Amino acid sequence: MLAALVVLGVLWGVGVAKKKREQDAASQALQKAIEQRVTQAVQQALPPATGTVPPATPPDNTPTPPVAEAKTTAPAPAKHPAAAAPKEDKPMPLPDVSGFPLRLEVAATEPASVEITADDNPAQTYSLKASGVIRAGAAKIFQVRTDNAGALHLKLNDQDLPDLGPVGSPRTVRYTAKSLTAGAPGTASAAGRQGSTGGPGQRTAGRTQIGLVATNLPKFADFSVSVDGQVLFDRAGALEAGTDMISRTDTIAPGTHTISAFLGNKKTNKGVMHEVTADFPAGQTRTVRVQGHFTGHRGPGMLMFDLSVE
C-alpha cells in the first residue's frame, strides 16, 4: 500500500515537472516571437544597412539674411530733397477780342495791379508782371484803374493811347469810341497833322494847365471829368451824407478841347452829363468849374450842376 502511494507520488511529481517544463518552453517561445516581431518593426522603420550613407537633402540655395548686429550708432543725418528747379511762368494765352467794337490791350513794363471794367460787367482785376500783357473787349466803354500808371502802355483798337502818368501813381481812365477819333493829349490832332494853321483843331507846341474846381457835390454820387474822352479826374461815390469840394491842377496839351463832366451812378449809367468846348492856349491856365445844385436832400434836381471854363 505504501509502495503504491510512493509510486503515485513519483508519477505526480514527474507530471508536474513535465507540465512546468512545457509551460516554460511555451513562455520562451512566446517571448522569442515577440522579440523577433519588435526587431522586424525596428528594421522596417530604419533605412536598410547597405553600408552607404543615404543621400542628403539638396541644399537650399536661398541666401540666408545676415543677422543684424546690435550696434549703437548715431542716427543718419536727414537727407533734404534737392531743390526743385524753378518753374517757368508761362504767359496765359490772350483772349480773342476780335469780335468786340472796342478792343483794349494793356502791356506792363513794371509790376502793376490793373482793374478793368467793360460796359456793365463786373470788374476784372489782374496782377501784371514786367512784360505782362492782357486784353479785354467791350461794346461801349472801358474803365481802367491801376496803382502804377507809369508802368502801363495801352492800346485801343491797335491805336496807341497816351501815357497815364508817372511811375507809382494811381490812375483811373475811361475809354469810349470817342477815344479813337479825338486827338490824344500831347499829340497832334488830325487837323494839325494835315498841316492846317489856326482853327480849333490845331495844337501848338508846349503844355498848358487846366484847373478843376468842383463844389457842392453830393458824396454819394460818382463824379468824373474827361478831356476829349480821356478821364482827367474820377471819384467814386461813398455811402456818406454831405457834399464834397474838389480843387486840383493838371497839365494838358494846348489847343481846343471838349470838357465833359458826369455826376450820378456809373454802374447803371444814370446821372447828369454836361460838355463844353474851349480853347486852352499854350503857357496859360484855364479853370474848369463845376457848381452843384445839391441841397442836402435826395430828390429831383439833386444831381444837377453847372459846367463852365474860365
What are the pLDDT tens digits along the chain (310 aa)? Answer: 677 676 676 677 767 777 777 777 777 877 787 777 767 766 776 555 555 555 555 555 555 555 555 555 555 555 555 555 555 556 668 888 888 999 999 999 889 999 999 998 999 999 999 889 999 999 999 999 899 888 898 999 988 888 787 788 888 888 988 888 754 444 333 333 333 333 333 333 467 889 999 999 999 999 999 999 999 999 999 888 888 889 888 888 899 999 999 999 988 889 999 999 999 988 888 999 999 999 888 888 889 999 999 9
Residue 95 grid coordinates: 483772349
User: Of 124, 151, 181, which marks where a domain is finished?
Assistant: 181
Whether residues 175 and 213 fall in one domain: no
- Domain residues for 176? 102-181
CA separation for the pair 94, 77 (Å, rounded)? 49
For CA atoms 239, 308, 262, 174, the dihedral sign is: negative
* Cα 139 to chain centroid, rounded: 29
User: Of 181, 214, 235, which marks where a domain is finished?
Assistant: 181
**Domain count along the chain:** 2
Whether residues 169 and 206 fall in one domain: no
What pTM did the predictor assign?
A: 0.38
